[in-house]
Chain A
Amino acid sequence: MKQEDLATPNKPNWCPGCGDFGIWLAVKMALTQLDLKQEEVVIVYGIGCHGHMCNFTKTYGFEGLHGRPIPVAEGVKLANKDLKVIVVAGDGDTYAEGLNHFLMGVRGNHDVTLIVHDNRIYGLTTGQTSPTSEKGRVSKSTPTGSIEVPVNPMALAVAQGGSFVARGFSADPKQLVELIKAGINHRGFAVIDVFQNCATFNKVNTVEWFKEHTYRLEDTKYVPNDRMKALQIALDEEKLATGIFYQDSREAYDQDVPAEKGDALVDHDISDIDITESMEQFT
């Protein structure tokens, strides 16, 4: 698949300077660099500004409901294990409305690559606090400051048995492309939380802010094979790491399902199923 194959008749409608642009470019670069067939890629989108990407990226796509792209993606993968299944979601999507699906996806290790556009704010609904906003965030819905402490997606994923846990940054395309490629190649649930700015509604976590507060794990001697060390890094909310926090090679969900041993389910012949033995069971 080439870059132009991914093009659609629609122009991006994100605000100028939105971090979504960087993530979008990285997704397209990763897809083309991996040399995948276009029809073998399914992207499932959440609802939010990030989800608008569905209109600018030509693959088999599914734009579902706010908070619910993960279970849709799991269903797609189990129906046709030959597909590469990617989820593009928001922080509201993943860590508020769909937190249950997030934890269960990590736990089940479904072979899905999850890319979370983490702008620490609700973009599409015009600027309410998000589960990743810091405590005290003043927003339209929290005029005197939010009361809850933020969700820590990296720590949750590491603690919940994540087999691939990583963080990127929309303004570091080089690293992000590599993370997405590694995530797609990973046989299991790949969590890639991507820091991004919201040019319109988040005046706190700007590109500069993220640059000041992040460092790249690749620039250190860190080896992502120790869950306790990964947790330690994940819990550090002052110096925010980007890169792969943790990876292992436990079996993906479909690899443990008896019916998935042979052909993909979608290729099973259902034209004349014999149920005699099952009926006899009731006699």
Chain B
Amino acid sequence: MAENKISLRIGGPAGMGIMQTGLLFSKCCARIGLHVFDYIEYPSLIRGGHNTYQIRADHEEIHSQVVPVDILIALDEATMNIHCDELRDHSIVIYDGKTVKPENTRLHCGIRCPLPMSEIIQELGAKEIMRNTLALGAALGIMDYPFEVCEGVIRDIFKGKKEEIIKEDVDAARRGYDLGKEKYRHLSQFTLHTVDSPKRMVLTGNEAIALGAVKGGLKIYAAYPMTPASSILHTLAAWQERHNIVVKQTEDEVGTINFAIGAGFAGVRAMVGTSGGGFALMQEGISLGGITETPVVVVEVQRGGPGTGVPTFTEQADLKFVLNAGHGDFPRILLAPGDVEEAFHLTTTALNLAEKYQTPVMIISDKYLGESHKSAELFDTSNYTIDRGKLLREAPPNYLRYEDSPDGISPRTIPGVPNGLFLANSDEHTPFGWSCEEIPNRNTQMEKRMRKLETLKQEMPGPNLYGPEDADLTIVTWGSMKGPVLEAMNWLNREGCKVNVLHLTWVSPFPVEAVTNVLVNAKKTLMVENNFSSQMAGVIREQTGIAVQEKLLKYDGRPFWPEEVYDKVRSML
């Protein structure tokens, strides 16, 4: 019997409401106190194709999805064909007995649980899309889940909608639940029941970034829609009135970055979000932020490139691009969150850093982090304070905006401050801002700007080392691969292996000493990253001179599954 441990997958054509049903199950699991992680795959189209939503829930902490599927809801035969190899003998397969025929597919194991979905939907007079809800209800019944909690979740999700719409959903879930319980509960090894736990959210990396931005005092968010960054735009747009912020869909990404830089220059916290292609259009603007020393935060949620690439899939192949964003030398700050907590906290940090260091701060995420939901306790913001750095609302006598300073950071006025006039100039400039191409001034200004990185190095945290300090093998990874890698590490250590994980979240400035220390002392090293050319291993070598010994790379648009990391480590030990 498996209690409070489940891996469920729903699959079917796009446009069938799979996303909403998947999220409903994630929330149902979190509501009874379980940890949740989900992973979504969908093609770049609105109807048809193959969508899947995979949810894993556990009473113990989890970090990623896993390969085996305990319950498969197959809304079409394709789902059965594609995912039957993930099933085990005792897995449950739920489908509409009328429209899905297992004999037409490769289905070779699992317990078949057909349901008369079409008939029930007809009988209820419900929309076709309710089939999902019905099937999910059945899954919950099969696991003996407390139905009243599910009804509560449905009511919360549809809060504000008409009662008849809500009731349609609740009824469909209820019918499925009763049927599932009556017909198949006795065949099921899986049970879900309420456990004691703190209240948890279920949210994506993008939503965590949006929350972090609001907490960090964001006033203006600008973006041009681009998967997989768009849900930051949607989330913030919906909060405009609640949080008194301005969200602007601009004409293009060139406009986006210049607009945000204008806002930053005028004294508000501004952020933009995009994916690789849009980020490419922002290059000149980011460089402009560097020389004018204007605070701005840029979020790059990577998808598979190059070109339009695999637009709804994940990759970590923009690392070196983002690290070198914009032409010329200027201080670039780059943060790479690995999960929703880090996405939230690093966004609040980024908004502080941008103002404190008066330079563009970039956050690199990806589709896997940006669109996968994870459960998390309400974020603790008690240690966060807004730090506006050397912002002046009154100017001292003989004020000079770009005056040289030991830490590289000059006091900064904003328009409206009397006697604080200056010229923010994309040409090299004097301490006032006047254009100037003379050698000593050029050197002073360049060195002043670049010195900011040295100052920042003194206050930045080192990378995180997870697992035993003294390990036989060290996995090095960054950003969203934290989840599958930690998951694999836990499995390995539970089996008596000694494996630890070095996870990088601050990429620029690079934590040279801390990384060197770990790698010099490591017995064996393995780099795990989601790209073809092992970009982070290249960065590490450039920064520390150390080559990570082995690499586990993936560039098929999918994240790592912990099993893949586990197998690789096993082969090395």
Query: Which residues in A have some Cβ–Cβ distance to B below 8 Å?
Result: 8-10, 37-40, 42, 44, 47, 52, 54-55, 58-65, 68, 71-80, 82-83, 100-101, 103-104, 257-260, 262, 265-266, 268, 270-273, 275-280, 282-283
Contact = CB atoms under 8 A, between A and B. Distances in A.
Contact of B258 (A40, A64, A282): A64
Nearest to A75: B262
Nearest to A101: B255
Given A63-B424, A63-B427, A275 B266 contact: no
B202 A62 contact: no
Given A54-B423, A278-B242, A279-B211, A71 B434 contact: no
Contacts of B423: 54-55, 60-63
A65 B326 CA distance: 13
A279 B240 contact: no
Contacts of B246: 78, 257, 259-260, 265
B255 A79 contact: no
B345 to A, nearest CB: 13
Contact of A54 (B207, B385, B417, B425): B425
B225 to A, nearest CB: 15
Given A64-B258, A64-B288, A75 B425 contact: no
Nearest to A262: B244
9 contacts: A39-B418, A55-B434, A64-B426, A76-B266, A79-B264, A100-B252, A273-B214, A273-B217, A277-B242
Contact of A39 (B211, B260, B292, B417): B417
Contacts of A270: 217, 219, 269, 386
A155 B410 CA distance: 45
Contacts of B385: 271
A265 B268 CA distance: 7
Contact of B255 (A61, A100, A275): A100
B285 interface: yes
Contacts of B252: 100
B219 A265 contact: yes
Contact of B415 (A40, A65, A71, A101): A40
A279 B262 contact: no
Given A10-B434, A276-B378, A282-B207, A42 B420 contact: no
A266 B219 CA distance: 8
Interface of B: 30, 199-203, 207, 211, 214-215, 217, 219-220, 222, 239-246, 248, 250-252, 254-256, 258-270, 284-285, 288, 292, 378-379, 381, 385-386, 414-427, 433-435
B266 to A, nearest CB: 4
Given A83-B416, A270-B219, A283-B200, A275 B214 contact: yes
A248 to B, nearest CB: 22
A268 B219 contact: yes
A72 B256 CA distance: 9
Nearest to A51: B427
A282 B214 CA distance: 15
Contacts of B256: 71
Contacts of B433: 61
Nearest 9 CB-CB pairings of A with B: A75-B262, A270-B217, A79-B266, A282-B201, A72-B262, A75-B263, A71-B258, A60-B415, A104-B251
A131 B199 CA distance: 61
A39 B416 contact: yes
A44 B243 CA distance: 29
A162 B97 CA distance: 61
Contacts of A72: 258-259, 261-262, 265
A88 to B, nearest CB: 12
B418 to A, nearest CB: 5
B259 A39 contact: no
